[in-house]
Amino acid sequence: MDAGGFSAEGVWESPCREGVQSQLGSDYAVELAMRYQQPSISSAINRLLNRQVSEIVVVSLFPQYASATTGSVFEEVMRVLKKEEVIPTLRFVSDYYDYEPMIEVFASNATAFDLASYDHVIFSYHGLPQRQLRKADRCNHCLQSSDCCQTIGAANQFCYSAQCHATTQAIAKKLDLPKEKFTTTFQSRLGPEKWAQPYTSQVIESLAARGIKRLLVFSPAFVADCLETLIEIKVEYLEMFEKLGGEHLDLVPSLNDNPQWINAVADMVRTNAQAR
């Protein structure tokens, strides 16, 4: 996991921020910010403005777009900047669910495991209420069929669930996983309303009932391991699986401070910044 702290100048230091800064060089100023914790988006933007930057590229560390995550980040950026008399050129990276360098790192992390030894592979994503999926739909496509998210196109290109399925398919293709050996699921649901389905917990129950003994799990909605990966999957889901007769569950590490991922973020910034 990426860890860090504040420097004497009040700048948040972390292996990932420093790595991206090193890759981009002195023509760029790289700041790390968090939506609800410190360092805040407001403080990061103020530091950039104080350095008289000519352009700001906002890269949200959520590969798949959702209004509650990436959308909330963009909203906060605009809330902060709207109070300024002068706003630099502003560019948002809305999503990168099928970004080849990212897919490469997830696939590479999986090669540390003996893929042939697992009975099934689960790609478990952070959940989202179905009402939010519907609100993002302008084409009357959302949840109109059981397989509406299996392929992504013009009608559902902004759908969180469809983007998650596309990420799964890109990683599975890279690893040559047959369709019958992997499933896209959603975890961390709250409350009684329906969320994006199928639910990870129910799929694990179903697989265990079929006699599946060994599971490998990806969590590609997160670029860094966190409580929802390390605790919910490696502890809670493992305990549930074992109680149901399962024998082994492994979690593929997220991107964290992998040098390939740091390079990928730097390339994403270069691609979205104005030509220099």
Angle between helices 41-50 and 72-81 (to 10 degrees): 50
* Cα 55 to Cα 155: distance, rounded to the nearest angstrom: 32
Place of tokens 């490469």: 104
130-183 per-position pLDDT tens digit = 888 888 777 777 877 778 888 888 888 899 999 999 999 999 999 999 999 999
Residue 159, pLDDT score = 92
CATH number belonging to domain 100-251: 3.40.50.1400
* Cα 187 to Cα 161: distance, rounded to the nearest angstrom: 12
Q: Are 262 and 16 in contact (CB under 8 A)?
A: yes
Report the topology of domain 5-96+257-272.
Rossmann fold (3.40.50)
Instruction: Say if 5-96+257-272 and 100-251 have the same CATH topology.
Output: yes
pLDDT at 14 over 80: no
Domain boundaries, the chain: 5-96+257-272, 100-251
216-261 per-position pLDDT tens digit = 999 999 999 998 899 999 999 999 999 999 999 999 999 999 999 9
